[in-house]
Copies of this chain bind each other. A is one copy, B any other.
């Protein structure tokens, strides 16, 4: 059984976190991943404190295993959400879009492990100095908001610059990705895209169909011009958005308007015209719907097989 410092730190059986996906990662998915031995994560991106509280309560009902909450630091009601997770004493908080320094004492006092997502060594060093327990080094191949560095380039550079455990994210959907992450120096992985295909993941049918059909070049990054690059599945709309970005035909405000409400349109309405179907480059490897337990089990059994066979690379 693969077991690392991250398992020990979080009290989980397998060193895998489920990505905190905005408007997607709810109690159902998080509890399913936690019950499978990983760390399920509820997204707090809605900014609706009551709703998040209900999801946390529901997750406590669905699993007796540790789970976490993901907080985008540039979102709404962050102070209230920070207090909420402290009150609820979830096992871990993962954060995006900045340094959660301000909330770290509050969370630590509540016994919560703090694990920021970072896209550069500069932010990794900053959050480590602020007292983070671990970092998630997320490569640009991941779905949703992305940085520029890839997992292969980012992980070893982050490992070299901090003393806390590093979790690799971006481009990981099978056992090969797990072993590659460990080789790069990570103590665990975070997986988003493949868990979108979990039977327990409550996204629209159209979203799942898009993922099932996606090949290696199915995704596109849009929003670089506005400074908020996002990776999603190519559709006519996002190809056009991408074209417009490079022209002066539209203003920044018009581009912002084009993107508004499009994630909800994908997740809830399954609107294939307007929807923004966030997904990583590894979508091409995600070809079947399975329970979170099957996904997690399959990934680690593949990884263990690879570890048991490393002698074949040596003569």
List B contacts of A148 (CB < 8 A).
217, 221, 281
List B contacts of A216 (CB < 8 A).
120-122, 149, 153-154, 157
Residue with the greatest number of chain B CB neighbours at <10 A, chosen from A154, A185, A280:
A154
Contact status A156-B182, CB under 8 Å:
no
Contact status B315-A1, CB under 8 Å:
yes
Contact status A141-B153, CB under 8 Å:
yes
- Tell me the smallest distance from the CB of A217 to a CB of chain B, in Å: 5
- In the docked arrangement, what's the CA distance between A307 and B307, Å? 9
- Tell me the smallest distance from the CB of A305 to a CB of chain B, in Å: 11
**Contacts A2-B314, A156-B177 known; 20 new A-B pairs at CB < 8 A:** A2-B313, A3-B313, A120-B216, A121-B215, A121-B216, A121-B284, A140-B140, A149-B216, A150-B150, A150-B151, A153-B171, A153-B280, A153-B281, A156-B176, A176-B183, A183-B306, A225-B246, A245-B246, A304-B314, A307-B313
List B contacts of A280 (CB < 8 A).
153
- In the docked arrangement, what's the CA distance between A141 and B170, Å? 13
Looking across the interface, which residue of chain B has its beta carbon closest to that of A179?
Answer: B183
Enumerate 9 A-B pairs (CB-CB under 8 Å) in ascending A order: A140-B150, A152-B170, A152-B172, A153-B216, A176-B185, A179-B183, A180-B180, A182-B183, A247-B248
- Tell me the smallest distance from the CB of A119 to a CB of chain B, in Å: 9
Looking across the interface, which residue of chain B has its beta carbon closest to that of A160?
Answer: B285
Contact status A177-B152, CB under 8 Å:
yes
Residue with the greatest number of chain B CB neighbours at <10 A, chosen from A151, A221, A306:
A151
Residue A68 is within 8 A (CB to CB) of chain B in the complex:
no
Residue A4 is within 8 A (CB to CB) of chain B in the complex:
yes
Contact status A171-B183, CB under 8 Å:
no
- Tell me the smallest distance from the CB of A3 to a CB of chain B, in Å: 4
Chain A, 246-266, contact with B by CB distance < 8 Å: what is the 0/1 string? Answer: 111000000000000000000
List B contacts of A307 (CB < 8 A).
310, 313-314
- In the docked arrangement, what's the CA distance between A111 and B193, Å? 44
- Tell me the smallest distance from the CB of A297 to a CB of chain B, in Å: 16
- In the docked arrangement, what's the CA distance between A177 and B183, Å? 7
- In the docked arrangement, what's the CA distance between A247 and B248, Å? 6
